[in-house]
Amino acid sequence: MKDPRLVDLAPEITAARAEQLSCLAREDRETAALLAAWIDVLLDEWNRRQ
């Protein structure tokens, strides 16, 4: 099993953004807001690793 600390976050961030845009297109603002928070967490982790 891969160490989660070594996983490339770029595909996860890209997928989360695509899902967020899909939610916005469906006017599902609550889920879009949750995805925005998840993207923030991923970006924080990305920056922490730098």
Token couple for 39: 């993207």
- Write down the pLDDT at residue 3: 72
What pTM was estimated for this model as a whole?
0.83
Place of tokens 């990305």: 46
Rounded CA gap, 16 and 42, in Å?
Answer: 10
- Write down the pLDDT at residue 31: 98
- Write down the pLDDT at residue 44: 94
Query: Taking the chain (50 residues) in consecutive chunks of 10 residues, what is each chunk's mean pLDDT?
Result: 76 96 98 98 90
- Write down the pLDDT at residue 42: 94
Token couple for 16: 């989360």
